[in-house]
A and B are shown apart, each in its own frame.
Chain A
């Protein structure tokens, strides 16, 4: 058994032992407040067991291991339905970026430890009503105010802002220069006066994202994490951190086995649906697609293990898996016919086709819309040119609205 396999086995055993207390079944009828409380206890248990901050430096309370161990743990953890989503953004991007760019080491260390134990949550305040894919088009501004800054504006789609203690934010500090050049990166106290958080109910019924309003929110200059006007680079660094994440060729929807089971249990024209060529073709095509994504992931893992850099094909996973899951979920609802109208908005999108279907559009937009991912593949991997951008080089305050 390789070291990594041994690590996987050990992690799997520990996760198995946690499942009765924190797993899917234990969470079934909890209110969100109770679920969050359970989640904090689960995160603390992970910290105690050495499974928090797996690939983070030991000096900050991490385990000092590699991406491989982290991805290995994450892929095992995914199987049990643990309440880890509340910390997904927090530990995924803002806190690592704080470790990288935070100046006050004692402060950083205290924040990191509390985040690792689940005591504090961080959010990421990037998208705005006027700019999602076009991040650099953001309008929230920070103006000099005494020795510090004063923030005004609105952010949106901010995951878990309603439970967050802190956030990282990109704001415009100079509207007189082209859009990428006038941005600055700060951290903010989400409990500060002038910060208002309003949850947004999504199409599927849940409300994990928020609008966040900033009205004369004062931050001192030691909150600044980039040079003035150098915020875009730190924002890009933030988005690059999660290059090595556990992927799911099922697009974070149900496993293909569940579709096969459904097709076996359903009849078309008096015969099992599994004998229907249209259904069989979709099973075969989806299997081949998922097997390809799994093989890409396996190869990336093997390359990392061999000390090599994985190829760029890993970037295909979300694009291909989520839109396929969306179509397969539609077909699964078709298969159920008049029994397919039922909807439980608490059902998991991992094992319920209707929940998978109704939440699929979010997956195709969040974390990079399909169209942006295609642009990235075309430009960064294949060397095709950027789109025509009428606002290129134009000072932000002269871009036609």
Chain B
């Protein structure tokens, strides 16, 4: 897989950016912060209409058979404008789990709907700080799930979830319909992510993988999602760097634009470094899908993208001064999103451990 974008890929980047910049606005995103259970319907409709939901799925199930590179490009643009719903990444993770580990009937049942976006999917592995628990609290007995998963991304709207559960003497990767599951909305700092606690009670589920392969599968799904999220974070960081630069070129103090002060210009130059490291790691990781070093590449992308987005959001607000902390300016949309994306798909501490375990050979 080349690390240079071809013409088709560049067109995906240009076109998705054009559409999102035309359709997304902070005025539509800000009210979503003050209510639970609502996402930006226009964003999700766009994702379905443009075929982004189908992008990385197999053709025989209605997909476009493209991969991480292309979906990453969309995620980057979505990150720039603050994506209005979490389902592109969560649905991709659920679909990949079913595609890679499910049976033919399972694929036929779920993948076409996930490809059109008619079915919203999510992945629920994390228990608190543990992104991939070795002894999940969620139990899987006789094809039934019991237990509560907290803070599930998209949990308020999802139709199905892929979970990691404690089966009879072994870990289990399973998929469940969420129709009967009790959902409690999490009143969050980033409400359009539709976080929910999901209470499974005798909920029917289907096995995808079990034992050691289940855990490996879960890590692989998480890594695939992490690469997409890293692209989204990089897009957000890039937007924050640019907005800081643009403001520093117009805002004047002490008789000159503030971008002429080294304390400001160097801060923005440092952001450029964070953004470009993250971008390079993202492009590399997307090109390593299927390779032996995919996990380390994904971890590196994830760590550098999280650092880039947090730093860029923080510094862009600082450079704006007072106006930066107002509700209306909307920079806090990125500051909030930087943190929510930092936790989804496993936090930095988790990926640091994954990375070092691989580097030291603790995980072959």
- Point out residues on A near B: beta carbons under 8 Å: 256, 260, 264, 274, 280-281, 283-285, 287-289, 291-293, 295-296, 298-299, 302-303, 306, 308, 313, 316, 319-320, 371, 374-375, 377-379, 381-388
State whether B360 touches A378 (Cβ < 8 A).
Answer: no
B221-262 vs A, Cβ < 8 Å mask (1 yes, 0 no): 000000000000000000000000100110000001101101
Quote the shortest CB–CB distance from B246 to chain A (angstroms).
Answer: 10
Can you show 27 pairs from A to B with CB atoms below 8 A apart?
A260-B359, A283-B355, A284-B299, A284-B351, A288-B277, A288-B299, A288-B303, A288-B307, A288-B355, A291-B281, A291-B284, A291-B304, A292-B300, A296-B277, A299-B3, A299-B4, A313-B276, A316-B277, A374-B265, A377-B269, A379-B265, A381-B269, A381-B272, A382-B245, A382-B268, A382-B269, A387-B260
CB contact between A377 and one of B260, B262, B272, B279 (< 8 Å): that residue: B272
State the CA gap A296–B282 with chains docked (Å): 11
Q: For residue A377, which residues in chain B have a CB less than 8 angstroms away from its CB? A: 269, 272-273
Quote the shortest CB–CB distance from B360 to chain A (angstroms).
Answer: 6
Quote the shortest CB–CB distance from A298 to chain B (angstroms).
Answer: 6
State the CA gap A115–B97 with chains docked (Å): 61
State whether A295 touches B352 (Cβ < 8 A).
Answer: no
State whether B262 touches A387 (Cβ < 8 A).
Answer: yes
Quote the shortest CB–CB distance from A241 to chain B (angstroms).
Answer: 23
State whether A291 touches B266 (Cβ < 8 A).
Answer: no
State whether A378 touches B277 (Cβ < 8 A).
Answer: no
B142: CB under 8 A from chain A? Answer: no
State the CA gap A39–B245 with chains docked (Å): 48
State whether A288 touches B281 (Cβ < 8 A).
Answer: yes
B277-303 vs A, Cβ < 8 Å mask (1 yes, 0 no): 111110110000000000011011101
State whether B280 touches A299 (Cβ < 8 A).
Answer: yes
Q: For residue B277, which residues in chain A have a CB less than 8 angstroms away from its CB? A: 288-289, 292-293, 296, 316, 320
State whether A375 touches B262 (Cβ < 8 A).
Answer: yes
CB contact between A289 and one of B2, B259, B260, B304 (< 8 Å): that residue: B304
| B242 closest partner in A (C-beta) | A382
State whether B281 touches A295 (Cβ < 8 A).
Answer: yes
CB contact between B259 and one of A296, A302, A384 (< 8 Å): that residue: A384
Given A285-B303, A285-B352, A378-B268, also A320-B273 (CB < 8 A): yes
State whether B300 touches A288 (Cβ < 8 A).
Answer: yes
Q: For residue B304, which residues in chain A have a CB less than 8 angstroms away from its CB? A: 288-289, 291-292
State whether B278 touches A302 (Cβ < 8 A).
Answer: no
B270: CB under 8 A from chain A? Answer: yes
State whether A378 touches B355 (Cβ < 8 A).
Answer: no
Q: For residue A284, which residues in chain B have a CB less than 8 angstroms away from its CB? A: 299, 303, 351-353, 355-356
Known contacts A283-B355, A375-B265, A377-B272; 8 additional CB pairs below 8 A are: A280-B352, A284-B352, A287-B359, A292-B300, A319-B273, A374-B269, A378-B268, A386-B260
